[in-house]
Structure formats: C-alpha cells, structure tokens
Amino acid sequence: MGWHGVDAWQAGLAETPGYFEEVVRGQAAPDSFDACYQDQAWFTIFWLFCNSEYATENLDFIRAVDQFASTGDLDVAQEIYDRYVKDDAPTQVNLRSSNRTTLDELLGPDGEGHGPPDMFDSSREEIQALVRSDNYARFLRELVEVQTILWGETAGADAWWNEDAPRVES
C-alpha cells in the first residue's frame, strides 16, 4: 500500500504525464504543506501519493472548503457537510467533536441550513494540521529517500529510468 520504495514511486509516476516525473527528478519538494498546496504540480504529486494510501479525503476536504470560502455558496457548504462531516459521510474526515457539533448545528438535519462564511475555518485548520504532521511528513520522508537513491552520488543524475540504478525493496 502506498508509494513505499523506489519501484513504487516509479510505477506511480509512470501513470502521470512526464512533467511530474521531471518535477520529482529536478526539484526539491516544498518544505511545508502550505507551500506544496500553492504549487499545482507538487500538490498533484502529493495527492497521488495520498491516493496510493487511500488517504485523499483530507486534501479533498481542504480544497472543497477553499472553494466554499471563495464563493460562499451554501449548496457547496451542504455538499461539504454531507460528504466529509456528517456521521454517515462517505469520505468522513476525522474532526474533533467540538468542530463536528458546530457544523451539525449549522448544516445537520436539525440545523439552521446556513452559517457564517467562516463556518469551516476551525475544521480546515484542524485537518490541515493533521495533513502537515502525518501525510506530508511521510511524503517528504519517502520522497527524500527515493531522490537520494535515484539521483544521489551513487545513482547519478540520469538514474531515473536506468535499469542499473540501485533499488529499494518494497
């Protein structure tokens, strides 16, 4: 499960446009999740990494909340609640009960059906902190290991598709 080891990274990136391979090969990853989120190429690579671990719901939640923040569309707010927050949500994110209760009171079956424009801010911050400390930290560790093996002193700069490049057993 996940992109663990060189072979898994190569296989995962082989399914993407060649540009992403070049990004991984030629650039250091952003050192923070916030910087990664602002860089479309790196965010896509990170999303694919999380997808390989069946862990994209937090990233999708953050993007959906940002979409709501930019539009204020209450239909979008309800979709976010239904998809990520309510008890039987198909891709429920792991929120503290205080954040979940607040959103239940606003958008749940007995809720008001609306709320302030910042109604998701606390939940977004909570999920973003989780992504920073868990998913993104793991992504960086895996990425650094793969980049070092493939393009470090031993492997050389042209090792990405070199059959003789050192391999890490998955």
Minimum mean pLDDT range among 85-94, 116-125, 137-146: 137-146
Cβ partners under 8 Å of residue 24, min gap 6: 9, 13, 45, 143, 146, 147
- pTM of this prediction? 0.81
Segment 19-40, tens digit of pLDDT: 677 788 778 889 899 999 999 9
Q: What is the pLDDT of residues 61-101, one digit of tens each?
A: 999 999 999 998 999 999 999 999 999 999 999 999 999 99
Give the integer Cα–Cα distance in Å for 127 and 33: 12
User: Where do the domains of the chain lie?
Assistant: 5-149
**Which CATH number fits the domain 5-149, given the four candidates 3.30.360.10, 3.40.50.300, 1.10.167.10, 2.40.50.110?**
1.10.167.10
- Residue 150, pLDDT > 90, answer no
* Residue of 112, 14, 131, 12 lying closest to 62 (CA atoms): 131
User: H helices of the chain, where?
Assistant: 6-14, 18-26, 33-38, 40-52, 57-71, 74-80, 97-107, 121-131, 137-151
CA distance 61 to 93: 8
Average pLDDT, the chain: 83
Residues listed for the chain:
170
**Token reading at 56:** 């994209």
